[in-house]
Each structure stands twice: as structure tokens, then as C-alpha cells.
A and B are shown apart, each in its own frame.
Chain A
Amino acid sequence: MLYREAGQFKTTYVEDMAIFPIRQDRIALAVLLGIAFIGVPLLATFHIWPFGSDYLLWAILLPFLILALAAIGTNILVGYCGQISLGSGAFMAIGAYSAYKLVTGVHIPLAWLGCAISIPPLSVLASILLGGLIAAGVGILFGIPSLRIKGLYLAVATLAAQFFFDWAFLRIPWFTNYAPSGSVNAPELNFFGLIVQSPIERYLLCLLLVTLMALLAKNLVRGNLGRQWMAIRDMDIAAELIGIRPLYAKLTAFAVSSFIIGVAGALWAFVYLGSWEPLAFSIDRSLQLLFMVIIGGLGSIMGSFVGAAFILIVPIMLNLIPAELGVPLSTETIAHFEFIIFGSLICYLLIKEPHGFARLISIGKEKLRLWPFPY
């Protein structure tokens, strides 16, 4: 009754092609964005429950936003273009380290030419975006094998990227500016004179970037490019026959996906971690992103957000619930429980609902349209 589109007539093409053609969806989104942009900062400023401390902002909302962004990137490659990737962590690392190098200034001595390439330190925002671009370039490079191989074979190729960059950032001291401990510190987050420091500011910064990029991704996947990706995913030979160039479609998917993941990586390092080591972007991170995408829903931007929220909240729940029930568990047991529950959930979801939570939500919408007269 509430969720019914009857009577919403579209009189122009522009209205017909809107991202959210149904009024109720627009209202829901506006409310959600309003809460995120205005409600949360207000509550947090005045320390009203549940924002009594910075815990919720720091430990849940900030990582949720950034990982959701990375999940969107992974989803574009895995969910929309059907190219499985186990190397998302590596692309996050590339984004993070490139941004770090750019923000501290790059100096490459070319001894045999007698000169050197020097780039003066760039601003933080430019570094983050350029870091994403560099990740996109590397993504294209590692996407080239996808033109000959697919499926599991491609997974191994992306695994090669993961292990190679893990090693490179650990062992090549140039990337860390010769830091003796191998860990590097984020610069001061100076955005055109505005210094982002407190959790609320960090949250707003991430929220802004994530909203913009999610909108960008949403628009891309419903446009020409996104349809090419989906055609390639569903049946590559048929797609080729109707005139889609696999080379172009696949490499753009790698590039866009790596760009978003790279930006997410730079944010993760600069805004959330503050100081980091290559371990922050290991194979575990790649698997975590893959799980977010599977659980949230392959081929769904909203699913990436749901998946990221789920993956982040389950461990916290596992920590809280036994304590509330008076059954204290050791952290080790909880970690093992987490493994078991994640694993079983993934199997269960793959068997029962291969399209993840996003599919459940759309089923719910469908039911809601008919409610209360289901016929």
C-alpha cells in the first residue's frame, strides 16, 4: 500500500531515466542520506546515545564506509563483469602506497641518464585520486590475462598480483621512504586549508567521497559501459557477436574497479589507519572483500553496503552477545566462532540465495508492492 508506484506517471524521458524512478525509493534514500549527513554528526557532536563515545564512529561507521567503497569496486569486477579477483587487497595497497608517495613527493633518480624524475608533494585529495588512477593502471596490466583466461585461472592470476605487491611493499624500501620499521604514517589531512582530524570530520569526509563514488558507480553500471560488462559476464561469446569488444569491456571493468578500490585503499590508510604496514592489505583483506560482495549480492551496488555492514557487525555481535548472556568466551574462541559462522553463512547463502541480501531486499520490495492484497 505504501510502496506502490501506481499513479507516478513519467512525462519526460529524463524522468524515465532517473536513477531512482520510484518516488518511495527517492524518499527512502533522502531520509538515509539525511540521517548520514546531518543526523549522525549532530548526535555525535552532542554525544547523544548511541554516540556517547567515539567508538561507534571510529570502530564501525568509518571502516564500514571505506570497506563498502572497496566492496563496490570489487563488485564491479566480480559481480558486474564476472571476472573473479582475489587481488583486491593488493589494489587497495597500491592506492594507499601511491597516494603516500605522491603526498610526500616522488623522486626517481635515473642515474644512467644523468637526470631524475621529481614530482613535488601534492595535496592530499589529489594524491588520493591519483593513487586511485595508478591502481587503475596496474589493474589494467593485471587484467590483460583475463583476455585469454577466465574463471579459476584468472583467480590465480589475480592471486599473483596479491602476493607480488605484498612482497614489493614489504621489501622495496623506496615505497616506504626508507622507513626503518617498514610502517608508514599518514600525512596531515589538509583539504584546501581544512584540516580533517576529529572522528566526525573523518566520517564526513569519507561519507562525502563514498556517496559521490557510489553514485558514479550506480550510474556507470546502468549505462552503456555497465551493460557491456553484464553482457560479458552473462555470456561472453554472445556479447562478442552483438558487437561488444571483450578487450575494451574487460579492461574498463578492471580499470574502474581498481580505481575505486585504490581510492578506498588510500582512504583506509590515510583516514582510518593513520599508520600502516603491508599486512593491512593482505590476502585476508581480499577474501573479506570477496565475502562482502557474495553475501551482499553479486551485481548490486546496494548489496556492497549491506555486505560490508554484515561482515563488520557479525564479529562485534559475537563479542557482545555472549558477554550479555553471561557466557564469557575467550577472544580465541570468538575468532574461531567467527570463522565457522562466516564459512557456514557463505555456504548457506550460496545454496539458498546465490544473489545475496540484495536479492532478499528486492523480494521484500516485490512483496511490499502487493501488500496487503497479495494477488
Chain B
Amino acid sequence: MIALGQFLEVLIGGLMSGVLYSLVALGFVLIFKASGVFNFAQGAMVLLAGLALVRALDLLVANGFPLWAAIVLGIAFAAAIMATTAWLIERFVIGPLVNQDGLTLFMSTIGVTFVIEGAAEMIFGSDVYPLRLFPTDAWFVLEDVFPGGILVNKLDVWGALIAGILVAGLAIFFQRTKTGRALRAVADDHLAAHSVGIPIGWIWFVVWLAAGLVALVAATVWGTKLGVQFSITFLALKALPVLIIGGLTSIPGAIAGGLIVGAGEKIAEVYLGPSIGGGIEYWFAYVLALAVLLVRPQGLFGERIIERV
């Protein structure tokens, strides 16, 4: 029973951190669905949102604001920053590059990544800033079934909850609102959408804004877990295999891919790690993605968009 208990603990821990990968991957999927841009800058956007939020919070609390007011104002400030970023990216990078092939757009987002990382750290500082929005203490559940119970981090539960709400919200936004429909139209065929009067520039701004807000949400959870710091940008790289596994165009796929990667790498680390030197987490997701690419290139839930080579 102890072995099963340990397995469950590892599995749950992995699934929960997988939820966090999903949060980053969601931003990717949003932009890819609506504009066909593979956004390398998502990780940098998480860093920017996190830094803006945590610095605003520190400043407001130091100036004697009550905590709730500081949180509300801080989130509003970070959201405003993300909106500005979205506008700048749309206006100066993605707009002029319309109709270029995917690779050019991808490389331009690598450029955007560098600009955002440099600017964010220059404006908001480059230390590690702790963020405490959610409880981080541990919880023991099912103590009557397993000796000692299973350790679950409260933050992970919060993260899962937030991810659930986010996905539900996005689904409603995409399916039920006018903007959401316009967005899907642009994703399908932006020329046709343009000719029926959908303002493409505005739609792309909305998409980047949505991705920015998703990044803000991801930043609150990741920032609480690790502190807001530069290494958050490496999340973007972890989100790539998540996307490949889940499928580039599928929001449920992003969630499922995140869960698979999270659980898989934790289990591999615990059960395989000791025999081959540890640190499997570092590459496990990528090799898994490679395997998926070879067998099912569109991912588990993606639409079949890859041309045969």
C-alpha cells in the first residue's frame, strides 16, 4: 500500500504541475488558433506580467494600501501593461508581417521575446521577487486509506481550479460572444473575414491581449510557486512539447498535454531517474514530444493541418 500511496502522490504532484504547463500552453494555442503565429514570446509575457504585478504590489503595500486594494490595483496595472504590449506587438511586428509564412512569423516572435525580456528586466528589475497570492502550505488527504496520507500542495489545487475556470471562460468567449466568433472567422480565413467587414487588426489585438491575460494568470500561479524570476521564461520552452503532444489548435489538448507531460516527467524522474543519473525532467517532455511527432504529428487532439512531406 505504501508503494501505491507514493505512486499516487507522485502522480498527483505531476498532474498539478502539468496544470501549470497547461496555463502557459493555453496562451500559445490562443494565438496560434487566431493568427497562425507560433508565439515563442509567451514565456517572456509570463515574466513581464509577473514582474509588473509583483513590483506594483510591493510598491502599493509599501505605501500603506490595504492588501485587497493593492491586489486589485496591481492586477489592473499588470493587465494594462499586457494590453500595451499586445498593442505594440500587433502594431509594430505582426501587422507589418501579415501574409508572411509561418517560419518568418515564428522568428519575429523570437525577436519579440528578446525585447520583452530586456525591457521587463530593465524597467522592473531582475531579482527574484516572491509573490504570495495563494496559500502554499501542504495538505494531507486520504489519511485513513494510506499510512501518512498523500501530500498535496494547496497551491496546486488553486492552480487546477484557476485553469478550469480559465478554460471554461475561454470556451464561452470563443463560442458565445461576437468577438469570439469573429476570432474564429479570422482564424479560418483572414481574407474572407476581412471582406465581410471584420476588423482584423482589432481582432489580433484582442488575441494578443487574451494571451497576455492568460500569461498574467499563469504568472500569479508560477510566481507564487517559484518566485517571479527570469527562469520563468524557460517555461515557454516546456510548453512547446506540451503543445505538440496536445495538438497545436486544441484548448482541451493544451490541458491534456500539460497533464501528460507533468505526470509523465514526475513519474519518470522518480522511477527511472535514480538508475540513469537523475534530471530526466529536463528533457523527458521533449523526447516524449518527439515520439508523438513521429507517430501522430497532429498531436492527440489537433486538427490535421500538417501537409505530407
Contacts and interface: CB of A to CB of B under 8 A. Distances in A.
Contacts of B110: 287, 290-291, 346
Which residue, A146, A166, A344, has most C-beta atoms of chain B within 10 A? A344
Which residue, A84, A153, A167, A336, has most C-beta atoms of chain B within 10 A? A153
Contacts of B282: 163, 166-167
Interface residues of B, number: 45
Given A152-B106, A236-B309, A159 B240 contact: yes
Contacts, number: 132
Interface stretch (B91-99, B139-147, B214-222): B91-99
Q: Is the interface of A mostly helix, strand, loop or mixed?
A: helix
A306 interface: no
Sorted nearest first, the 6 A-B pairs with minimum C-beta distance are: A339-B118, A343-B114, A346-B111, A343-B115, A160-B286, A340-B118
A280 B251 CA distance: 37
A172 B278 CA distance: 10
28 contacts: A145-B290, A145-B294, A146-B309, A148-B293, A148-B309, A151-B103, A156-B244, A156-B286, A156-B289, A157-B289, A159-B286, A160-B283, A160-B289, A160-B290, A163-B282, A164-B286, A171-B279, A287-B110, A336-B118, A336-B119, A336-B126, A342-B111, A342-B114, A343-B118, A344-B111, A347-B92, A347-B111, A347-B112
A340 B111 contact: no
B180 interface: no
B118 A337 contact: yes
A145 B278 contact: no
A94 B287 CA distance: 18
Contacts of B177: none
Nearest to B126: A332
A55 to B, nearest CB: 26
Interface string B276-309: 0111101100110110011001000000001101
A13 to B, nearest CB: 36
Contacts of B283: 160, 163-164, 166-167
A149 B108 contact: no
B107 interface: yes
A148 B121 contact: no
Nearest to A287: B110
Given A152-B102, A160-B287, A147 B309 contact: yes
Contacts of B167: none
B122 interface: yes
A291 to B, nearest CB: 8
A156 B240 contact: yes
A336 B122 contact: yes
A354 B106 CA distance: 13
Nearest to B299: A153
Given A332-B126, A340-B122, A351 B96 contact: yes
B262 interface: no
A159 B118 contact: no
A336 B114 contact: no
A338 B241 CA distance: 29
A340 B286 contact: no
B136 interface: no
A338 B122 CA distance: 11
A258 B108 CA distance: 25
A107 interface: no
B237 interface: yes
Contacts of B102: 151-152
A170 interface: yes
A294 B302 CA distance: 30
Contacts of B278: 171
Given A167-B279, A347-B111, A283 B118 contact: no
A231 to B, nearest CB: 14
A147 B115 CA distance: 34
A171 B277 contact: yes
A159 B243 CA distance: 14
Nearest to A340: B118
Nearest to A147: B309
Contacts of A155: 106, 240
Contacts of B108: 346-347, 350-351
Contacts of A170: 279
